């Protein structure tokens, strides 16, 4: 049995018909990980024994005809910044090595209540700070399409795991594009829901007003299944929205006739964008037009300021959130410290990596007296303008289509010495986080023999329309069915 050949929906169907068992699926995951799966360095915490117990329980439910959900018995991965009771969570950082959580995150609780088999944690950039999954104490993850290239970040391990066929679905987190950009680089589907649609309870915070949990999968249908499991109000998260959750799968009718797609010129005129990538994206939009959608020009005039605003707000919030890692309560504590002050300084110096230190320093600076108004407050004002841009655009269109990334997957190490170049990898994705709107990246085709992503953005809480557009596109194309050579057999 070849697990990589099956989507999450197909796995569910074969479990239901008893053609497969949950233990069969888990054996395939463990076998794949023992083989080529490890080459991508996508998984950092395999929990084979615990997952086996969960698979056995799922098989017993399935035998009795009592499945808990469509993902009951299906192996999935979570990102290494979502806590699990009794399991290590490191955020790919030395400062959290050995930390074992006393409780489950809301996302993990949703998976458990649905009967999913959590097979382990996926690699990531340290504290989700990065666009390449190179900033990890576990070493860089690698793109299954070319092991010399990055799978994107910070959810690169999750995207690589789905692209390589290790699992059919995984959870990532998206602060400025960290689900969508890796999805584009690895040729899979990645969705960032509306801010507040999925609970952040138990997600280790990077930038609290921007972070969101979302699914990565091979198809829009699979993403809809996973989002339906995750979405909903959580009173433990003060930012969680008390709004009804629709049946996302029922929205996948393959019909986009009359759908109005806005095309923002600012996204297609960005400096440094690969013209071949842009042409692939234009052709993908043309395919939706052939399916009956209508395109029109829209403008998002404050887009050029999005990257600057994002990196001021995100680093300021990171500076505040990461202040809790001081060696006193949990996490790494320096053994060289002789005083309390030295304990704080040395624990952080030894525990945090270069990129995390860089962002803490920048965030602390922009929040400091004399600079708060000039930088942080101004960035928040730009954020309001960006949100207003989207609101005005959605008065005349239903969704907005853009490239997900200005380029295909870059080589590992290519941008390590130039943080500004790395930050520009998120030029097309950060606006959605600043505005709090949902976005999805779907495989649009190939440039330079590597995957290209089409990003579709929508109104708040209108994930269903994005999933419908993505599903319609996938019904008419086979880009999502293309797989990295030598991985999926």
Active site residue ranges:
79, 154, 178
Other Cβ atoms less than 10 A from the Cβ of 384: the count is 13
From 33, 52, 42, select the one nearest 118 (Cα to Cα): 52
User: How far apart are alpha carbons 151 and 132 in whole angstroms?
Assistant: 6
Rounded-to-integer distance, Cα 24 and Cα 177, Å: 34
């Amino acid at each position: 049995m070849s697990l990589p050949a099956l989507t999450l929906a197909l796995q569910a169907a074969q479990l239901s018909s008893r053609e497969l068992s949950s233990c069969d699926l888990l054996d395939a995951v463990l076998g794949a990980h023992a083989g080529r799966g490890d080459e991508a360095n996508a998984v950092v915490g395999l929990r084979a024994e615990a997952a086996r117990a969960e698979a056995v329980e799922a098989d017993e439910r399935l035998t009795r005809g009592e499945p808990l959900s469509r993902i009951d018995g299906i192996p999935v991965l979570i990102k290494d910044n979502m806590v699990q009771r009794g399991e290590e969570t490191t955020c790919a950082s030395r400062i959290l090595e050995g930390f074992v959580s006393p409780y489950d995150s809301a996302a993990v609780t949703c998976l458990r209540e649905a009967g999913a088999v959590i097979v382990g944690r996926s690699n990531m950039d340290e504290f989700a700070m990065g666009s390449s999954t190179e900033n990890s104490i576990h070493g860089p993850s690698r793109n299954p399409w070319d092991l010399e290239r990055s799978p994107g970040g910070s959810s690169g391990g999750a995207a690589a795991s789905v692209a390589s066929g290790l699992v059919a679905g995984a959870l990532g987190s998206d602060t400025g594009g960290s689900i969508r950009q890796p999805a584009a680089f690895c040729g899979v589907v990645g969705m960032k829901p509306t801010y507040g649609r999925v609970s952040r309870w138990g997600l280790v915070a990077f930038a609290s007003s921007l972070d969101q949990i979302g699914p990565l999968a091979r198809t829009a249908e699979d993403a809809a299944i996973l989002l339906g499991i995750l979405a909903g109000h959580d009173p433990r998260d003060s930012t969680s929205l008390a709004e009804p959750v629709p049946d996302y799968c029922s929205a996948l009718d393959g019909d986009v006739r009359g759908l109005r797609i806005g095309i923002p010129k600012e996204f297609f005129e960005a400096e440094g964008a690969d013209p071949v990538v842009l042409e692939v994206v234009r052709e993908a939009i043309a395919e939706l037009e052939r399916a009956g959608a209508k395109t029109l020009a829209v403008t998002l005039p404050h887009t050029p300021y999005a990257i600057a605003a994002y990196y001021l707000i995100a680093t300021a919030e990171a500076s505040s959130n990461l202040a809790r890692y001081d060696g006193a309560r949990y996490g790494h504590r320096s053994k060289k410290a002789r005083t309390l002050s030295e304990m704080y300084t040395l624990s952080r110096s030894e525990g945090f990596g270069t990129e995390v230190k860089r962002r803490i320093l920048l965030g602390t600076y922009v929040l400091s007296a004399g600079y708060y108004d000039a930088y942080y407050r101004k960035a928040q004002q730009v954020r309001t303008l960006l949100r207003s841009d989207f609101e005005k655009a959605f008065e005349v269109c239903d969704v907005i289509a853009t490239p997900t990334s200005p380029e295909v997957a870059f080589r590992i190490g290519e941008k390590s010495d130039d943080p500004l170049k790395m930050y520009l990898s998120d030029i097309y994705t950060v606006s959605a986080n600043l505005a709090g709107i949902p976005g999805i990246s779907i495989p649009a085709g190939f440039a330079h023999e590597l995957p290209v992503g089409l990003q579709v953005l929508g109104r708040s809480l209108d994930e269903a329309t994005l999933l419908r557009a993505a599903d319609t596109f996938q019904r008419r194309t086979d880009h999502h069915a293309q797989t990295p050579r030598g991985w999926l057999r």
